[in-house]
Amino acid sequence: MDIYNIFLVLSMAAGFFMAFSLGANDVANSMASAVGAKAITVRQAVIIAGTLTFVGAVFLGSHVTATITRGIINPDQITDPRIMMLGMFSALVAASLWVLIASLTALPVSSTHSIVGSILGFGIVAGGPQVVNWWILSGVVLSWIISPLFAGTIAFLIFSHIRKYIFYKKHFLQQARSWAPRWIGLTALILGYSFIYKTPVGQDLEMTRITALIFTSLLAGCAWFAGRMIINRITREKEQTVEEVEGIFRKMQIMTSSYVALSHGANDVANAIGPVAAIYILARHHQLVQAAEIPIFMLVLGGLGLSAGIALLGKKVIATVGSRITTLTNTRGFAVDFSAATTVLIASNMGMPVSTTHACVGGVTGVGLARGFSSINFSVLLRIVGYWVLTVPIAAFTSIVIFQILKWIFI
């Protein structure tokens, strides 16, 4: 067996390992606010997220992915396909290890930034500093600050609006009947846009902005009308209590969390399987490629890894984001989900590599701050931010060590 076939087999295992780590950390974030607000139990979150993530990865996941991930390094500077193969494998293992360590310590980190850091590490060693696209890397660093601040601000404003126009009014159940359908319509608008621009299937539709606007507006109108009918029906005989208002937002929150899990599977499977697909092409053609087709069995492998990760280790990160930063209710959880989805959508359309993890944590912090500084557990929050800052350098250093060892053994 030659070096290419050896690393093709090893990369399959490494791809599953990356998907497992990613499921335990990133995907768990999608259900954290729903569990923290007690809209669903941890067991239900694991079943829902595991199923939807697998469906998203296999049926909506990208079948083509850029191999020299996200333009972090210039592949023209590394002409030996064996070096590139060892580097991609090293990056995959290094990123997997860091995300797994973060999951075991129950702290949410960005898998995308782990991959960026590990690619950066082997890229500098293999091709020198000039191989790195420093402009894109600076955007990644900037997103550490912008995405949580942006999501936190949106979550703060949404929850403040809910308190002012629903809970602080005399007839607050009647106010909830009036405002909740509008939030449902607005949520459908955001999720519709997110599906079109953030999932591979939506992008394949190739809608123009005008067509997308008409489509999502119709979707939002239908959602508003259906939401109004359902809410009026289920609250008609109910007494005016805070629990009834929270119950309305509980159902909305389950829908938004489920969408985030589905979207995670569709988007993040490429983080785990993309480098495997690149090694697959290198093993077959002994040539560098700019983009690689991902065979369906690799998407299934990635989907299984994501589901296994959230099933076995996901509850650790869910507990941190859902309950250890601040106390969540259903209205607060809805504000978190809405702010995270909005932040990721807007930033992605601006070309910024934001992390859903950072946006979720920013949203949780935002609704906590709406109730005052004393509502936030800053020791947990500072530990999370510390892990974010360490992600790129630690992943880069680990990747360099693994790459140098493999290079010394095989080349």
- Block residue for tokens 């259903």: 330
SS3 327: coil
Q: What is the pLDDT of residue 68?
A: 47
Total Cβ atoms within 10 A of residue 81: 18
- The pair phi, psi for residue 179, each rounded to 5°, is -85, -35
Q: What is the pLDDT of residue 306?
A: 86
156 Cβ contact partners less than 8 Å away, ≥ 6 residues apart? 366, 367, 369, 370
Q: What is the dihedral of CA 259, 264, 265, 271, to 10 degrees?
A: 170
Q: What is the pLDDT along the chain (411 residues), one digit of tens a residue?
A: 678 888 888 999 998 999 899 888 877 777 888 888 888 888 888 888 888 888 877 776 665 555 445 567 777 777 788 888 899 899 999 999 999 999 999 999 988 788 888 988 988 898 888 888 888 778 777 777 888 898 899 999 999 999 999 999 888 888 998 999 998 898 888 878 877 876 667 777 788 888 888 989 999 999 999 999 998 888 887 778 888 888 888 888 888 888 777 777 776 777 777 778 878 877 877 776 666 667 788 888 888 998 899 889 988 888 888 888 998 888 998 899 888 878 877 776 666 656 778 888 999 999 999 988 889 999 999 999 999 889 989 999 999 999 999 999 987
Q: What is the pLDDT of residue 116?
A: 83
Q: What is the pLDDT of residue 278?
A: 77
SS3 330: helix
Cα distances (angstroms) measured from residue 113 to each of 4, 264, 313: 27, 15, 20
Q: What is the pLDDT of residue 293?
A: 67
Q: What is the pLDDT of residue 66?
A: 52
Distance from C-alpha of 284 to C-alpha of 293, rounded to nearest angstrom: 12
Distance from C-alpha of 53 to C-alpha of 254, rounded to nearest angstrom: 15
Q: For the whole prediction, is pTM greater than 0.75? A: yes
- The pair phi, psi for residue 291, each rounded to 5°, is -145, 150
